[in-house]
């Protein structure tokens, strides 16, 4: 039987990457926020009643980390109320839910990669609301996969890769933070992992960490972008203190991928290899 799949937030970069690699024998219904407002309980209920689906991939999220500090209600609605509504509808209509979460549920005080079982302690509104969204799903629905990811980028939308390439056209030099450590993750790799979960109908529900492999600072990430794209620019390694932001960022948010790699029997690609592929795709466009 062909899986019938709903993708919410399909105009975001992950939604577009799912569409890019959508060559599976799946029946996929892509919707944006104007077609399905996940914060509206009745609208979600009516949609699930009308469209018979087997899986829901929730890519809808409030991801403006700094803006969230002064816009709590909006962040809460999308990151908490929305997932809660989806989880409740999934339970009623026997749908499995794949929900995308974040490394920002951790405070960054660790010195080794975070496991799914490590204590959470978000240090900003974005991380706090994403964690509450996870908790609402876990309370309402057993048949769920929560995929925490980090430093997501792609050819689509606004992200660090696109920002660096754009800024390099106008500036002779750039300062990029070198004391925040994590792993850049190509959204197409995450999309492939999501389709693997569905295609294999994985029965092991729960929280999983997914990012590319390897470790980098934002400075390392930027340097790799400019090296691979052969961009001539002076890059300066600066501290977090030299680049203050409204929201605090975790200083260390590398995710341990052992659980998902064991479950899928497949290792996530190394971050730099995926970055080469993404930059080549941008050049080809």
Q: What is the pLDDT of residues 60-106, one digit of tens each?
A: 999 999 999 999 999 999 999 999 999 999 999 999 999 999 999 99
Residue percentage of the chain with pLDDT more than 70 = 100
Per-residue pLDDT, 79: 98
Whole-number mean pLDDT of the chain? 97
Measured between alpha carbons, how far is 285 from 280 in angstroms, rounded to an integer?
Answer: 9
CATH of domain 4-157+183-214+254-270: 3.40.50.720
Q: Is the pTM of this model over 0.95?
A: yes
Per-residue pLDDT, 24: 75
Q: What is the pLDDT of residues 109-132, one digit of tens each?
A: 998 999 999 999 999 999 999 999
Per-residue pLDDT, 220: 98
What's the burial of 241, exposed, middle or buried (CB within 10 Å: 0-12/13-18/19+)? exposed
Nearest in space to 64 (alpha carbons), one of 10, 155, 133, 127:
127
Name the active-site residue from 30, 62, 126, 186.
126
Per-residue pLDDT, 104: 98
Per-residue pLDDT, 153: 98
Q: What is the pLDDT of residues 132-173, one digit of tens each?
A: 999 999 999 999 999 999 999 999 999 999 999 999 999 999
Whether 126 sits among the annotated catalytic residues: the reply is: yes
Q: Where are the domains positioned within the chain? A: 4-157+183-214+254-270
Give the pairing of strands 96-102 and 234-238.
unpaired
What's the burial of 262, exposed, middle or buried (CB within 10 Å: 0-12/13-18/19+)? exposed
Instruction: Determine the average pLDDT of the residues in 268-285.
Output: 96
Per-residue pLDDT, 102: 98
Residue 279 confidence class, pLDDT cut points 50, 70, 90: very high
Per-residue pLDDT, 23: 80
Per-residue pLDDT, 254: 98
Instruction: Determine the average pLDDT of the residues in 233-257.
Output: 96
Instruction: Determine the average pLDDT of the residues in 188-214.
Output: 97
Residue 220 near residue 214, CB atoms below 8 Å: no
Residue percentage of the chain with pLDDT more than 90 = 97
Instruction: Determine the average pLDDT of the residues in 204-220.
Output: 98
């Amino acid at each position: 039987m062909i899986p019938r799949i709903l993708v919410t937030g399909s105009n975001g970069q992950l939604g577009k990457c799912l569409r890019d690699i959508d060559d599976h024998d799946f029946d996929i219904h892509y919707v944006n926020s104007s077609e399905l407002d996940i914060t509206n309980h009745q609208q979600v209920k009516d949609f699930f009643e009308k469209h018979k689906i087997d899986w829901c991939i929730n890519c809808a999220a409030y991801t403006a980390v700094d803006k969230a500090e002064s816009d709590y209600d909006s962040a809460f609605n999308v990151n908490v109320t929305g997932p809660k509504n989806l989880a409740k509808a999934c339970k009623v209509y026997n749908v499995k839910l794949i929900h995308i979460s974040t490394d920002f549920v951790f405070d960054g005080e660790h010195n080794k990669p975070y496991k799914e079982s490590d204590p959470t302690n978000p240090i900003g509104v974005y991380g706090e609301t994403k964690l509450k969204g996870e908790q609402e799903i876990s309370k309402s629905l057993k048949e769920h996969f929560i995929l925490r990811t980090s430093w997501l980028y792609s050819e689509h939308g606004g992200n660090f890769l696109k920002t660096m390439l754009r800024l390099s056209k106008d500036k002779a030099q750039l300062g990029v933070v070198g004391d925040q450590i994590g792993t850049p993750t190509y959204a197409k790799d995450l999309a492939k992992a999501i389709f693997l979960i569905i295609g294999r109908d994985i029965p092991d529900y729960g929280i999983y960490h997914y990012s590319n492999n390897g470790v980098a600072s934002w400075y390392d990430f930027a340097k790799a972008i400019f090296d691979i794209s052969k961009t001539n620019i002076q890059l300066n390694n600066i501290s977090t203190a030299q680049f203050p932001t409204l929201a605090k960022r975790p200083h260390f948010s590398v995710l341990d991928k052992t659980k998902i790699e064991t479950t899928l029997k497949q290792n996530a690609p190394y971050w730099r290899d995926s970055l080469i592929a993404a930059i080549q795709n941008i050049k080809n466009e």
